[in-house]
A and B are shown apart, each in its own frame.
Chain A
């Protein structure tokens, strides 16, 4: 399962162009990692692609931090 956390963090690092050390589980995409609202939409799309899950808009709106993303994928990803 830690594999999911690593993959999520890698996507965040790649898409937001931030230091890996800043991408801790509690980090908020917008408040801590400098994302804007469009960045978060793109992040959610990247999670969908990487993990083969569909993240509906109402669920996406609640994915605000690294931890939120990991939790959602753990609960919903097939693999």
Chain B
């Protein structure tokens, strides 16, 4: 089987624009979670979110830097975020295909959990108030999830596989895993892969709040709201952003002297077949996804030094994931560091798996594991587990596993290994 490595990283998150800046802020213990701005949240149960810091300052997100104002009207924010993250990742990789064949061997697989929810909300209002003749011709292409991949391919001329994953909160992980397999199976040499989400809107927050899935006890102290594994956690904090990686066949990357961040060695998938939103209590779905990823990687639990947990800060989910990790790792728990970076940026839904994959790769590269913020009083079940409370830890990370679980009972685990 062809080997796949990561040669480019790009991200826009509540911690800012760019993977280097993100990492610096993440390991410094910064939080990107704030009170909701940009729309009226006064009647919403949850008033906190991980929103992109918008502006023109250092590390701030300015959409005009990535897409012309004229074209922004034709796409929802999730597409703009994806274009921004992809631009960074592609530039970072240094891959600029020159020939038709090279372009045809370069594909895109960027998914989203929800897609153009704000655009759909606006379109519905236009339809209701003004009738169908006033719907913009850009309404549909502005909301469709695969248009993120479409726009990226058009901008860069990538004519290989053009695909999009939609698996709720495991979208980003599935996209990277599936894109890697397209390279392994020789359908492409290079894939631009990841996830994007921009559902921090009245409809998005209102909808998740209706499920009682969001944190509501920390509206006055936003930075404290996302607290995975802490006794006082009370739901996830919604976030927005995008993470994109450039995946490349090993020999292709070596031949052009590309920087190799890590190798994608493991990918496991499973379904709970249990409930539309609650994880199965025995954690069997997550367990099998992780086990599958280790098997594919040919690694034992003791070879994994860091787990980037799904850890959304919900009372039930965190407990179940931890149980599954303990069951799989057994004695190897003693040496394992596991943290949830959602404590710093919130839950980026369809982008989460991709952003967290990048954080996992950075942990390998820098020999530092990022902290779980707000872990003041760990739950009983966390005793003896190194959840990297509050402060980053220096340690060698030979391989890292990143978990992503989504509504519908869909699970994906990725394993990245240092490339020596």
| B70 and A38 within 8 A (CB) | no
Note all chain A residues with C-beta closer than 8 A to B69.
Answer: 17
A41 to B71, CA, bound (A): 15
Size category, A interface: under 10
| A7 within 8 A of partner (CB) | no
| A16 within 8 A of partner (CB) | yes
Chain B, 112-126, CB within 8 A of any chain A CB: none
> Could you mark each residue 124-161 of chain B with 1 if its beta carbon is under 8 Å from any beta carbon of chain A, else 0?
00000000011011100100000000000000000000
Residues of A contacting B: mostly: helix
- Select one of A16, A17, A42, A49 contacting B138, CB under 8 A: A42
Separation in Å of the A26 CB from the closest CB of chain B?
A: 22
A70 to B134, CA, bound (A): 21
| A17 and B137 within 8 A (CB) | no
| A15 within 8 A of partner (CB) | yes
| A45 and B138 within 8 A (CB) | no
Which chain A residue lies CB-closest to B68? Answer: A17
Note all chain A residues with C-beta closer than 8 A to B141.
Answer: 38
Which chain B residue lies CB-closest to A18? Answer: B70
Chain B, 89-133, CB within 8 A of any chain A CB: 133
| B70 and A45 within 8 A (CB) | no
Which chain A residue lies CB-closest to B138? Answer: A38
| A41 and B70 within 8 A (CB) | no
| B138 and A15 within 8 A (CB) | no
A45 to B137, CA, bound (A): 9
Note all chain A residues with C-beta closer than 8 A to B138.
Answer: 38, 42
| A42 and B136 within 8 A (CB) | yes
Note all chain B residues with C-beta closer than 8 A to A45.
Answer: 133-134, 136-137
| A42 and B137 within 8 A (CB) | yes
| B70 and A15 within 8 A (CB) | yes
A16 to B74, CA, bound (A): 11
Separation in Å of the A70 CB from the closest CB of chain B?
A: 22
A41 to B68, CA, bound (A): 20
> Could you mark each residue 283-326 of chain B with 1 if its beta carbon is under 8 Å from any beta carbon of chain A, else 0?
00000000000000000000000000000000000000000000
A48 to B71, CA, bound (A): 21
Separation in Å of the A24 CB from the closest CB of chain B?
A: 20
A38 to B133, CA, bound (A): 14
Note all chain B residues with C-beta closer than 8 A to A48.
Answer: 133
Which chain B residue lies CB-closest to A46? Answer: B136
A17 to B67, CA, bound (A): 12
Note all chain A residues with C-beta closer than 8 A to B68.
Answer: 17
> Could you mark each residue 40-71 of chain A with 1 if its beta carbon is under 8 Å from any beta carbon of chain B, else 0?
01100100110000000000000000000000
Separation in Å of the A55 CB from the closest CB of chain B?
A: 10
A52 to B101, CA, bound (A): 51
Separation in Å of the A33 CB from the closest CB of chain B?
A: 12
A49 to B138, CA, bound (A): 17
Which chain B residue lies CB-closest to A44? Answer: B137
A41 to B133, CA, bound (A): 10
Note all chain B residues with C-beta closer than 8 A to A15.
Answer: 70
A26 to B394, CA, bound (A): 67
| A16 and B136 within 8 A (CB) | no
A45 to B74, CA, bound (A): 15
A25 to B134, CA, bound (A): 26
Note all chain B residues with C-beta closer than 8 A to A16.
Answer: 70
6 nearest CB pairs, A to B: A17-B70, A41-B137, A38-B137, A42-B137, A42-B136, A17-B68
- 20 example contacts (A-B, Cβ-Cβ < 8 A) are as follows A15-B70, A16-B70, A17-B68, A17-B69, A17-B70, A17-B71, A38-B74, A38-B137, A38-B138, A38-B141, A41-B137, A42-B136, A42-B137, A42-B138, A45-B133, A45-B134, A45-B136, A45-B137, A48-B133, A49-B134
On B, residues with C-beta under 8 Å from A are 68-71, 74, 133-134, 136-138, 141
A38-B138, A38-B141 are known contacts; what are 16 more A-B pairs with Cβ within 8 Å? Answer: A16-B70, A17-B68, A17-B69, A17-B70, A17-B71, A38-B74, A38-B137, A41-B137, A42-B136, A42-B137, A42-B138, A45-B134, A45-B136, A45-B137, A48-B133, A49-B134
